[in-house]
Amino acid sequence: MKKEISFTLNGSEVTVTIDEHLCLIDILRGPLGQTGTNEGCREGECGACTVIVDGQAVNSCLYPAFEVEGKNVITIEGLQEPNNKLSVFQQAFVDHGAIQCGFCTPGMIMSAKALLDTNQNPTEDEIRDALLGNLCRCTGYVQIVEAVKQAAVQLKNKK
Protein backbone atom coordinates (compact mmCIF):
# COMPACT_ATOMS: atom_id res chain seq x y z
CA MET A 1 0.00 0.00 0.00
CA LYS A 2 1.18 3.56 -0.78
CA LYS A 3 1.50 6.21 1.87
CA GLU A 4 2.64 9.84 1.84
CA ILE A 5 5.12 10.81 4.53
CA SER A 6 6.80 14.07 5.44
CA PHE A 7 9.94 14.52 7.48
CA THR A 8 13.05 16.67 7.78
CA LEU A 9 16.01 15.44 5.77
CA ASN A 10 19.31 17.22 6.32
CA GLY A 11 17.50 20.36 7.37
CA SER A 12 14.91 20.46 4.58
CA GLU A 13 11.27 19.38 4.72
CA VAL A 14 10.59 16.54 2.29
CA THR A 15 7.38 14.77 1.32
CA VAL A 16 7.50 11.47 -0.50
CA THR A 17 5.05 8.76 -1.46
CA ILE A 18 6.31 5.35 -0.40
CA ASP A 19 5.34 1.72 -0.45
CA GLU A 20 4.63 0.89 3.17
CA HIS A 21 6.91 -2.14 3.21
CA LEU A 22 10.02 -0.13 2.28
CA CYS A 23 12.84 0.61 4.67
CA LEU A 24 14.40 4.02 5.16
CA ILE A 25 17.45 3.17 3.05
CA ASP A 26 15.21 2.38 0.08
CA ILE A 27 13.66 5.84 -0.01
CA LEU A 28 16.93 7.60 0.80
CA ARG A 29 18.84 5.94 -2.02
CA GLY A 30 15.79 5.79 -4.31
CA PRO A 31 13.40 8.72 -4.68
CA LEU A 32 15.40 11.03 -2.41
CA GLY A 33 18.70 10.42 -4.23
CA GLN A 34 20.85 10.31 -1.09
CA THR A 35 23.25 7.63 -2.27
CA GLY A 36 25.96 8.40 0.28
CA THR A 37 24.26 5.94 2.62
CA ASN A 38 25.56 2.51 1.67
CA GLU A 39 23.81 -0.82 1.75
CA GLY A 40 25.92 -3.79 2.82
CA CYS A 41 24.28 -6.74 4.55
CA ARG A 42 20.70 -5.42 4.79
CA GLU A 43 20.43 -7.45 7.99
CA GLY A 44 21.48 -4.97 10.65
CA GLU A 45 24.95 -6.49 10.91
CA CYS A 46 27.40 -4.16 9.14
CA GLY A 47 26.34 -0.60 9.94
CA ALA A 48 27.14 0.67 6.43
CA CYS A 49 23.60 2.07 6.22
CA THR A 50 23.73 4.07 9.48
CA VAL A 51 21.88 7.39 9.54
CA ILE A 52 20.67 9.54 12.43
CA VAL A 53 16.95 9.71 13.27
CA ASP A 54 15.98 12.14 16.01
CA GLY A 55 19.51 12.04 17.40
CA GLN A 56 19.88 8.25 17.39
CA ALA A 57 22.14 6.28 15.05
CA VAL A 58 19.96 3.66 13.34
CA ASN A 59 20.40 1.00 10.69
CA SER A 60 18.36 2.40 7.83
CA CYS A 61 18.16 -1.07 6.22
CA LEU A 62 15.90 -2.21 9.07
CA TYR A 63 14.13 1.06 9.91
CA PRO A 64 10.61 1.16 8.42
CA ALA A 65 10.38 4.17 6.13
CA PHE A 66 6.91 5.17 7.35
CA GLU A 67 8.28 5.58 10.88
CA VAL A 68 10.26 8.70 9.94
CA GLU A 69 7.01 10.66 9.58
CA GLY A 70 7.57 13.97 11.38
CA LYS A 71 11.11 13.07 12.43
CA ASN A 72 14.51 14.60 11.81
CA VAL A 73 16.80 12.50 9.61
CA ILE A 74 20.47 13.24 8.96
CA THR A 75 22.51 11.37 6.38
CA ILE A 76 26.16 11.74 5.42
CA GLU A 77 25.10 14.36 2.83
CA GLY A 78 23.94 16.52 5.73
CA LEU A 79 27.53 16.94 6.88
CA GLN A 80 28.64 18.53 3.63
CA GLU A 81 30.46 21.83 3.98
CA PRO A 82 30.10 24.69 1.47
CA ASN A 83 32.65 25.09 -1.36
CA ASN A 84 33.65 21.42 -1.30
CA LYS A 85 35.59 21.97 1.92
CA LEU A 86 36.19 18.73 3.79
CA SER A 87 34.08 18.33 6.91
CA VAL A 88 35.76 17.86 10.27
CA PHE A 89 34.99 14.14 10.06
CA GLN A 90 36.25 13.75 6.49
CA GLN A 91 39.48 15.58 7.32
CA ALA A 92 40.02 13.50 10.45
CA PHE A 93 39.48 10.23 8.56
CA VAL A 94 41.94 11.34 5.86
CA ASP A 95 44.51 12.54 8.41
CA HIS A 96 44.50 9.19 10.21
CA GLY A 97 44.36 6.88 7.18
CA ALA A 98 40.98 5.67 8.41
CA ILE A 99 39.60 5.16 4.88
CA GLN A 100 40.55 2.52 2.35
CA CYS A 101 37.68 1.38 0.14
CA GLY A 102 35.41 3.85 1.96
CA PHE A 103 32.35 1.61 1.96
CA CYS A 104 31.95 1.66 5.74
CA THR A 105 32.93 5.32 6.12
CA PRO A 106 29.53 7.08 5.87
CA GLY A 107 28.09 4.72 8.47
CA MET A 108 31.12 5.08 10.73
CA ILE A 109 30.88 8.85 10.53
CA MET A 110 27.16 8.91 11.29
CA SER A 111 27.65 6.68 14.35
CA ALA A 112 30.49 8.93 15.48
CA LYS A 113 28.40 12.05 14.91
CA ALA A 114 25.52 10.65 16.96
CA LEU A 115 27.98 10.08 19.79
CA LEU A 116 29.69 13.48 19.58
CA ASP A 117 26.37 15.31 19.35
CA THR A 118 25.62 14.19 22.90
CA ASN A 119 29.11 13.64 24.33
CA GLN A 120 31.80 16.19 23.52
CA ASN A 121 34.51 14.39 25.47
CA PRO A 122 34.11 10.68 24.79
CA THR A 123 36.58 8.22 26.20
CA GLU A 124 38.18 5.70 23.87
CA ASP A 125 35.85 3.03 25.28
CA GLU A 126 32.81 5.21 24.55
CA ILE A 127 34.00 5.73 20.98
CA ARG A 128 34.57 2.00 20.52
CA ASP A 129 31.13 1.27 21.98
CA ALA A 130 29.48 3.77 19.63
CA LEU A 131 31.16 2.09 16.64
CA LEU A 132 30.44 -1.48 17.72
CA GLY A 133 27.74 -1.92 15.09
CA ASN A 134 29.94 -0.64 12.26
CA LEU A 135 32.19 -3.14 10.53
CA CYS A 136 35.24 -2.30 8.46
CA ARG A 137 36.99 -4.99 6.47
CA CYS A 138 39.88 -2.78 5.33
CA THR A 139 41.44 -0.47 7.90
CA GLY A 140 42.36 -1.30 11.44
CA TYR A 141 39.84 0.10 13.88
CA VAL A 142 42.66 1.97 15.63
CA GLN A 143 42.85 4.51 12.81
CA ILE A 144 39.10 5.03 12.88
CA VAL A 145 39.04 5.54 16.65
CA GLU A 146 41.93 8.03 16.35
CA ALA A 147 40.01 9.90 13.64
CA VAL A 148 36.94 10.18 15.84
CA LYS A 149 39.12 11.47 18.70
CA GLN A 150 40.49 14.19 16.39
CA ALA A 151 36.98 15.09 15.22
CA ALA A 152 35.86 15.39 18.84
CA VAL A 153 38.64 17.86 19.63
CA GLN A 154 38.05 19.90 16.49
CA LEU A 155 34.30 20.08 16.94
CA LYS A 156 34.77 21.21 20.54
CA ASN A 157 37.20 23.93 19.43
CA LYS A 158 34.74 25.11 16.77
CA LYS A 159 32.09 25.91 19.40
* Contact positions vs ligand FES (CB under 6 A): 39-42, 44-49, 59, 61, 99-104, 136-139
Could you tell me the smallest distance in angstroms from the CB atom of residue 25 to ligand FES?
7
Torsion sign (Cα): 23, 28, 29, 35: negative
Kindly tell me which of 37 and 87 has the beta carbon lying closer to ligand FES: 37
Tell me the residue type at 28. L
- Asked if 135 and 59 touch (Cβ cutoff 8 Å), the reply is no
Q: Is 123 exposed, middle or buried (0-12, 13-18, 19+ CB in 10 A)?
A: exposed
79 versus 159: smaller Cβ distance to ligand FES: 79
CB of 125 to ligand FES, least distance (A): 21
Nearer to ligand FES, 19 or 45 (CB): 45
